Chains A and B, each alone.
Chain A
Amino acid sequence: MTHPCDLSLVEMSERLACGDLCPVALTEEALRRAEENKHLNAFVTLNKEGALEQAEQSRKLIKEGKMRALEGIPLAYKDMFCTKGLRTTAGSRMLENFVPPYSAHVVKLLEGEGAICIGKCNQDEFAMGSASITGFGGAVVNPLSDQAGKDQTGKDQAGKDKAGKQLSAGGSSGGSAAAVAAGIVPAALGTDTGGSVRQPAAFTGCVGVKPTYGRCSRFGIVAYASSLDQAGVFARSVQDAFAVLHHMMGYDERDMTSVDSYRGEKVNPDMNFGILLPSLDVVEKYPAISEWLKGMEMLLGKKSVEKNMIAGERYKTKDVNLQNLESGALEAYYIIATAEASSNLARYDGVRYTHRSTHRSTALKENNIDELISGSRSEGFGSEVRRRILMGTHVLSSGYYDAIYVQAQKMRRILKGIFEKMFETYDIILSPVTPTTAFTLEEAKNFSPQAMYLQDFFTVQASLAGLPCLSMPFVKDANGLPIGLQLIAPAFQEERLLAAASHVEKIIGYKP
């Protein structure tokens, strides 16, 4: 019999409803699996007592026939989501001891449906990173590390370079991805600013969905880059991911950028897929992309792939070409995201709830407030966060603002325009998620910042355009590691995204 934690969320729910499964036992199992998988470093904080209390409550409600939509389902939240009474660190020493007196709006919505929070997931500090190695809690280990490069009997296969090595779960929501991939929880929340849900999903072989910007309230989610941040969901199937996402969407008056524009349109079953593939040199440079292209030919047929390949020419206007979707988008993303981050992270100043420098000799001397602030920030923030704050401060400085920041915003508008144009022809855009499959933690630690930023090569476009998108396991590389497929839908067309992803899932025969 399947271990209860390995059930799909939908099955879990059915078994809980008919009494075959007890929410308390299920939660205990989830917590036990979390402990068993401690080496993955997927959690910053486990919510043992709180989770069991919630489970007890669920047990009562189910017994009374008052079961809610997600009653008794164990979930895990990235440590960017504030959870009332439960430490929320954003992966930073700065917030090492921060216990929020409130919960994020989406957390409240899920709680209101009976979901159980078993813990807070490890991540890159303040969601800045693509490997989940910059958090103060250390690196997250990809649960697929054990299988990489091995045959079915578990033996290392000759010539497989990743065998026996610790792999990265991707980032920044690596802990959430690992928790789902390791079968600890059926679904977990992440945040996606430039790919932080989609890339870890691709690395760990999960489904990761990011809704339209504004779909979910950002209230109570620690901010990285306000105009890009969105809550997202990891699950082991498309259906499960949307089962959770459906309860997170909707307008919240406390987030002025959230919108209430549900479009319950009928989804056309014969969808027209556009394939967005970068220039040939990129395909040749990255083996995973070649594999991806082969998979695409198997999925749609070679002819169809050729026909639906989005070429530069069609979208060329006076000063725009597909090049903008590549390097242009990546640059614009890092300019806008770091600019916003430099301002969003200014509140962590050592004055109120954050880490405070204790260099009494200098910091606490009278009139030395500047040293208290800079001392606290130097100690509280890790190097990648400091790097991005400096970059963001630079691009907003007088003399650079117009030359850099304003240009990036212009690029962002151009990108939105290109997507609008593409959606005149296609219902869904398909593209790779990442240039590579999961890299080893050792490799990750030696990446230059720029090499790490390249991980976002395929994901920042949909982020900048605010579009709903999803990453799902597609094909595998030589080490047997998953290569993801990205689906992008027009704004607020989450239903279409669900239909398309379910369709692809069925064809490729993916089993959770």
Chain B
Amino acid sequence: MTSSLSSSLSSSSPSSPAASMLPDGWEMVVGLEVHAQITSSSKLFSGAATAFDAEPNRQVSFIDAAMPGMLPSLNKRCVEKALLTAIALEGEVNRHSVFERKNYFYPDLPQGYQISQLKHPLMQGGEIAIALEDGSTKKIAIERMHMEQDAGKSLHDMILGKTAIDLNRSGVALMEIVSKPELASPQEASAYVAKLRSILRAIDTCDGNMQEGSLRVDANVSVRKKDDPKLGTRCEIKNLNSLRFLRQAVLFEAKRQITLLEQREPVLQQTRLFDTATGTTRNMRSKEEAHDYRYFPDPDIPPLVIEEEQLEGLRAALPELPDARCARLQRDYGISASESSLLGENATSAAYFSTLAASVPAKTAANWMTSELFARLKTHEVEIDTIASILPAERAVKMLLLVEKGTISARAAKTLLDRMLENDKEPAALVEEMGLQQMGDEKTLLPLLQALLDENPKQRDAYRGGKQAVFGWFVGQAMQRTRGRGDPKVVNALLQRLLDNEG
């Protein structure tokens, strides 16, 4: 499975296929609603700032606090970003979309309504291609995407016995991207979100940070018998904030529903919450308790009209998307499909790779990044996006060139890399300091190898008697005695000569 780099970094690797996790004859049907916060310095309808983690209520305009007489004023930058997203998702942009009010009372919803789009969303249609475990690709259809405001936050544990309200998030621009119910496993669901996230990051319309809540997922889960064409009753699980929780929640919920059905009990349409501590879901409200949101077109906001010209401009300015980038890396550098998909899903890693490949063979660079570098990023829990501050590509090139020139062995390079991640010293200086230089000098190696043969007459004679396999044992011993520094090529050649000559 070509899992995304970032997902493999931020969560445990996907476990075995879900199909086998469900009882025989059952399948799950999952649709996702993703709330993606639009990357923007100001809110959807006000000029207030949107920085994460600011002091409570420091990023609130009179509009966000719904003071009397305040009116929304649509942020054109947010619209542009949403349009760019629509183009990247290959959806159809509605030239005429309408902002509506979704009315309900909640203390952290100052207006008493959320401005959203119901009947005439900004985009409909579209699709995302995800890679399946067998290497094939599955296209997941997107139902729609619309813009809406975020609500504020109620903080229940800040002041004893009271609820505090933080309106910093109130009015922040969101895109709600709704998939069709076409995902068949927790892995597909998580691959869909990972892919969506890499697209949003590529075009810089959402930073995709799930921990900070800039990307939140609601999952609609239902189950049915495998040959049943009808969809079962669905439950919606709210606010999943990591891919691992998404997979856990979806799987738990599917199993819960199957258990109910197998006991001949109905699945009730509910909105459920996922408990990260127990890995289970619980009922939040049933269909009967659902609000009547009394949607109606917001009279403060004229319909949003999109001109073809603007779309053309945005199409022309669309940055390279992950799929295109992967294909380009594979084509231009002759690396494998799996390597290119690992390297190309993220713009930073693709650029990093290109820098390396300019100085060392592409295959070497690709192999080193996907095996050595990514493994270490995962251990250190570091995102590839911050790589420049930890290991600038120029330093990595210097190190790889030391291997290429034979100054150090590939094995020594691993030790060197670990050290390089801890300090800023030049690779050459570290090699010196750690004594990692390869021993490729005949004068130094010859007496050492001669001694090895002399001290092990049994093995020497066995080889000379025709036991070729013993050669490998000698190489191993030689490397041990040089503490890994012996140049394998020279060691091999000298050993060959010594063993063969005396024969």
Contacts and interface: CB of A to CB of B under 8 A. Distances in A.
Given A219-B71, A366-B161, A347 B301 contact: no
B299 A347 contact: no
Interface of A: 82, 88, 90, 95, 98, 100-102, 104, 218-223, 225-227, 253-257, 339-340, 342-343, 345-347, 349, 351-353, 366, 369-370, 373, 393, 396-398, 401, 405
Interface stretch (B110-118, B249-257, B324-332): B110-118
A98 B110 contact: no
B300 A257 contact: yes
Contact of B110 (A220, A351, A373, A393): A351
20 contacts: A82-B69, A95-B68, A100-B68, A100-B69, A101-B62, A102-B62, A102-B67, A220-B69, A222-B69, A226-B299, A256-B301, A340-B299, A343-B103, A346-B105, A347-B66, A351-B107, A366-B161, A369-B163, A397-B294, A398-B292
B112 A343 contact: yes
Given A220-B70, A349-B112, A366-B161, 11 more contacts: A101-B62, A101-B67, A254-B71, A256-B74, A257-B300, A343-B101, A343-B294, A369-B107, A370-B105, A396-B294, A397-B292
Contacts of B161: 366
Interface string B37-73: 0000000000000000000000000100111111111
A254 B74 CA distance: 9
A256 B113 contact: no
Interface of B: 62, 65-74, 101, 103, 105-107, 110-113, 161, 163, 165, 292, 294-296, 299-302
Contact of A339 (B107, B163, B296): B296
B73 A352 contact: no
Contacts of A351: 107, 110, 165
B112 A347 contact: yes
A257 B302 CA distance: 7
A349 B300 contact: no
A346 B300 contact: no
A219 B46 CA distance: 13
B294 A373 contact: no
A127 to B, nearest CB: 12
A256 B302 contact: yes
Contacts, number: 100
B71 A256 contact: yes
A102 B65 CA distance: 13
B300 A256 contact: yes
Among B62, B65, B69, max chain A CB count under 10 A is at B69
Contacts of A401: 294, 296
B71 A349 contact: no
Contacts of A254: 71, 73
Contacts of A342: 103, 294
Contact of B67 (A349, A353, A373, A405): A353
Contacts of A95: 68
A104 B296 contact: no
A293 to B, nearest CB: 36
Given A104-B69, A257-B302, A346-B103, A393 B294 contact: yes
Contacts of B71: 218-219, 223, 254-256
Given A100-B67, A101-B62, A397-B294, A253 B73 contact: yes
A396 B112 CA distance: 15
A397 B112 CA distance: 16
A227 B111 contact: no
A231 B302 CA distance: 19
B19 to A, nearest CB: 39
Contact of A346 (B68, B74, B111): B111
Among B74, B292, B296, B302, max chain A CB count under 10 A is at B296
Given A343-B101, A347-B112, A90 B68 contact: yes
A413 B6 CA distance: 53
Contacts of A393: 294
Nearest to B102: A343
A330 to B, nearest CB: 19
A320 to B, nearest CB: 23
A346 B112 contact: yes
Majority SS at the chain B contact face: loop
B91 to A, nearest CB: 25
Nearest to B45: A256
B300 A88 contact: no
Given A90-B68, A349-B107, A396 B296 contact: yes
Contacts of B163: 369
Contact of A396 (B62, B103, B299): B103
B292 A349 contact: no
Among B65, B299, B302, max chain A CB count under 10 A is at B299
A373 B105 contact: yes
A155 B50 CA distance: 69
A223 B112 contact: no
Nearest to B163: A369
Among A82, A349, A370, A393, max chain B CB count under 10 A is at A349
Contacts of B66: 347, 352
Contacts of A100: 67-69
Contacts of A340: 299
A391 to B, nearest CB: 13
B110 A347 contact: yes
B89 to A, nearest CB: 27
Nearest to A353: B67
Contacts of B70: 219-220
A221 B72 contact: no
Among A82, A219, A254, A347, max chain B CB count under 10 A is at A347
A191 B472 CA distance: 96
B62 A343 contact: no
Among B68, B72, B101, B105, max chain A CB count under 10 A is at B68
Contact of A256 (B72, B103, B110): B72
Contacts of A90: 68
A222 B292 contact: no
B165 to A, nearest CB: 7
Nearest to A82: B69
Among B62, B70, B301, max chain A CB count under 10 A is at B70
A342 B165 CA distance: 24
B114 to A, nearest CB: 11
A225 B296 CA distance: 13
Contacts of B73: 253-256
Contacts of A352: 65-66, 110
B202 to A, nearest CB: 32
A100 B292 CA distance: 32
A90 B107 CA distance: 22
B69 A346 contact: no
B112 A226 contact: no
Among B71, B105, B111, B302, max chain A CB count under 10 A is at B71
Contacts of A370: 105
Contacts of A225: 299
Contacts of A221: 69
A405 B299 CA distance: 13
Contacts of B301: 256-257
B69 A223 contact: yes
A104 B68 CA distance: 10
A226 B299 CA distance: 6
B86 to A, nearest CB: 22
Contacts of B105: 346, 349, 370, 373
A101 B165 CA distance: 20
Contacts of B300: 223, 226, 255-257
A201 B161 CA distance: 53
A333 to B, nearest CB: 14
A109 to B, nearest CB: 15
B80 to A, nearest CB: 17
A132 B299 CA distance: 26
A218 B71 CA distance: 8
Contacts of A396: 103, 294-296
Nearest to A101: B62
Nearest to B111: A347
B68 A98 contact: yes
